[in-house]
Structure 1
Amino acid sequence: MVQATEQTDADESELINFSKSSTREWISGATFSLPYLLIAGTFLFGPLLLALYMSFYDWAALDPAQSEFIGLENYQVLLSDPNFWNALKNTVYFVALTVPPIVVGSLLLALGVNRDVKGQWLLRTIFFSPYVLTVAVVGLVWTEVFNSTGLVPHYLGGGNWLTSHDLAMPAIAIATIWWQLAFNFIILLAARQNVSERLYEAAKLDGASSWRMMRDVTIPQMWNPLVFVIIVTFVNSFQVFGQPFIMTDGGPSFSTTTIVLYLYDTAFVGRDFGYAAAVGYVLFLILIAVSATNYYFLTGDDE
């Protein structure tokens, strides 16, 4: 009986110590997280909620107190706005032009550089270097490449690609692919280097060809980073702004006006901040839907 009482007291003491330890860890974690939470709350979640609030108003930017509540009218107008649907169509076209080359190209570069070849460090530096450039520099450089006296029209013809209704968006897509390959390349190169070489040795002993090793070893082992790259590339492409803003300003004839560029023009040129907020939230919902769909089909996880 005494032993049972002592055991019970010991269990209670251990439980109390565990509870105190967990509390200390929680307080410590919360303390370290607090600066980030304050910054995120001030510059991310605060504006996010304010934009949602603004989307229900005919917002008066200079005197918010004079803003008129109009409910869902901004969203109703958006659904029948041909300019919005044109911007959405242009954005989807841009996504289709950029996502497959960026994902496939970065994967091929990562697999190629991972091979035992001379000058690996130089190749990695060359492939990653475009990503250190800002979007302004990228836009200005490629504007010179595609204008009427640039390299591309000189060798491929077509005149100034950026003033062509059919060629302007492909030109922006080419500039974006060149720029964005680098980020995904680094992620996928790191993922490839984490694949154990023993798996390839075992596959070779079984007589597997290079294609079989790619399909049965490389891709499955790199699948999670690859899913991340695909989703991030989709999100980035749907949010494209700087390239069309600098290279074409949405032209010619609004053929390169994307959703974010249309949002910018609506807010800061048309001064219709409430409607622009509604456009932003529709884009936010589109990104959630696209990301969730990609995640579901790429992972098979419906939770």
Structure 2
Amino acid sequence: MGQANRQRDANANGSTLVDLSKSSTREWIAGSAFALPYLLIAGTFLFGPLLLALYMSLYDWNALDPAQSQFLGLENYRILLSDPDFWNALWNTVYFVVLTVPPIVVGSLLLALGVNREVRGQWLLRTVFFSPYVLTVAVVGLLWTELFNASGLVSYYLGGGNWLTSHDLAMPAIAVATIWWQLAFNFIILLAARQNVSDRLYEAAKLDGASSWRMMRDITIPQMQNPLVFVVIVTFVNSFQVFGQPFIMTDGGPSFSTTTIVLYLYDTAFTGRQFGYAAAVGYVLFMILIAVSATSYYFLGGDD
């Protein structure tokens, strides 16, 4: 009798495992079907161009007749590493990142925490803070070009003449325009993250006599960790890929002091017609972005 019961339980368990296996298979097929359109689009417009760019970087690429392109191997990368213009563009980009990333991240966090408080006109403040982000880079560039020229408001109140023609002030001017423009996106992300933090945590902390700084350190920042990591990485990537602002406001000048990597890549490809070399520049930038993103995630991602 006992052996019969054990056999029946074993058969039942076996049947359950088969049902679970079939269910998992059906879920995998359904999930793959939903993901397939995205994978096809990503493969066509993302991974395809990535592989093509890598292929181009190994050639002296002839855009008009690719069949006449000359294979160079890693020569483009060797030339790149000894190219002073590339290193100048890289330094300018790093300088721009240093000028923009901390103010954008910290500023958007402070704005999000401030607007989250119950204040009069809260909706108006949110609208005002987010409104710059709806502008295109062309509008932002032209607007701030007028503000920074010799007769603009910035020069009138702060002096310095035309900031965009000054070797020392041109990059900070572009950074100011970028900070004003990019704060809005991060502000919305962090405001949503702050609103998802339970008020019960703060009520319990107040009962324990925790100060505002203590609640910020032990509740707010840890609870917003993932959105903060996202904001930091996205801001790093956006700043490393800056193109529109220097292109419109200074065209890389004066004396190449605002020529960034992407602007250098653009000039190399479409002015110098060196498409293979430009593809090599793009791939080096790609590897830099991977390294920066991985490093940021390693130090800020915690246990996730």
Does the C-alpha gap of structure 1 residues 87 and 10 become closer, same or farther in structure 2, counting only changes over 3 Å?
A: same
SS of the residue corresponding to residue 151 of structure 2 reads coil
In structure 2, how many angstroms separate the alpha carbons of the residues matched to 1:230 and 1:177? Answer: 14
Amino acid corresponding to residue 133 of structure 1 in structure 2: L
Matches within 5 A, 1:185-200: 185-200=187-202
Alpha-carbon offset, residue 232 of structure 1: 1.2
Percent identity reads 84
Out of 73, 80, 83, the position equivalent to 1:81 is: 83
Aligned to 1:270: 272
CA distance in 2, matches of 1:204, 1:193: 18
Partner of 1:236: 238
Partner of 1:160: 162
Please identify, of 35-44 and 144-153, the stretch whose mean Cα deviation from structure 2 is larger.
144-153
- The answer to whether 1:118 aligns with 2:120 is yes
List per-residue Cα deviations over 1:69-113 (Å, max 9, x = no partner).
Answer: 111100000000000000000000000000110011001100100
Mean CA deviation greater in 25-34 or 207-216: 207-216
CA distance in 1, matches of 2:28, 2:168: 57
2:259 aligned counterpart, secondary structure: coil
Q: How many residues align?
A: 302
CA distance in structure 2 between the partners assigned to 1:268 and 1:38 by the alignment = 29
> What is the one-letter code of the residue matched to 1:246?
I
Partner of 1:55: 57
Match of 1:90 in 2: 92
Which residue number corresponds to residue 102 of structure 2? 100
Residue 33 (structure 2) pairs with residue 31 (structure 1):
yes
Separation (CA, whole Å) in 2 of partners of 1:296 and 1:72: 31
In the alignment, which residue of structure 1 is the partner of 2:24?
22
Match of 1:293 in 2: 295
Distance 1:224 1:38 in 2: 29
Corresponding position of 2:153: 151
Q: Which amino acid aligns with 2:110?
A: L
Which sits farther off after the overlay, 264-273 or 199-208? 199-208
Q: Distance between the aligned counterparts of 1:19 and 1:40, measured in 2? A: 30
Structure 2 unmatched runs, 5+: none
Unaligned runs of 5+ in 1: none
**Which residue is 1:128 aligned to?**
130
C-alpha distance in 1 between matches for 2:264 and 2:296: 25
3-state DSSP class of the match of 2:124? helix
User: Which residue identity lines up with residue 219 of structure 2 in the other structure?
Assistant: V
What do residues 249-280 of structure 1 show as CA deviations (whole Å, max 9, x unaligned)?
11111100000110111111111111011101
Q: Distance in 1 between matches of 2:9 and 2:214?
A: 59
Using the alignment, how far apart are the partners of 1:94 and 1:243 within structure 2?
Answer: 11
Give SS of 1:184's match: helix
Residues in 2 aligned to 1:15 and 1:216: alpha-carbon distance in whole angstroms? 44
C-alpha deviation, 1:151, in angstroms? 1.1
Q: Which amino acid aligns with 2:96?
A: F
Q: Does 1:225 align with 2:227?
A: yes
1:245 CA drift (Å): 0.8
- Please name the residue that 1:210 is paired with: 212
Q: Give the C-alpha shift of residue 237 in structure 1.
A: 0.5
Name the stretch that deviates more: 32-41 or 222-231.
Answer: 222-231
| Worse overlay, 187-196 or 168-177 | 187-196
State the alpha-carbon separation in 2 of the partners of residues 223 and 10 from structure 1. 45
Alignment RMSD: 1.3
Aligned residue number for residue 201 of structure 1: 203
Per mean C-alpha deviation after superposition, the further-off stretch among 170-179 and 130-139 is 130-139
Aligned AA (2:286)? F
| Matched AA of 1:189 | L
- Deviation, 1:300, is 4.7
Deviates more, 1:80-89 or 1:217-226: 217-226
Q: Which moved more, 1:52-61 or 1:140-149?
A: 140-149
Report how far residue 248 of structure 1 moved: 0.8
Superposed displacement of residue 9, structure 1: 2.6
1:2 positional shift: 3.2
The residue aligned with 2:173 is 171
Q: What do residues 173-221 of structure 1 show as CA deviations (whole Å, max 9, x unaligned)?
A: 0010001000110111111111121222222222222222222222222
TM-score normalised by the chain length of structure 2: 0.96
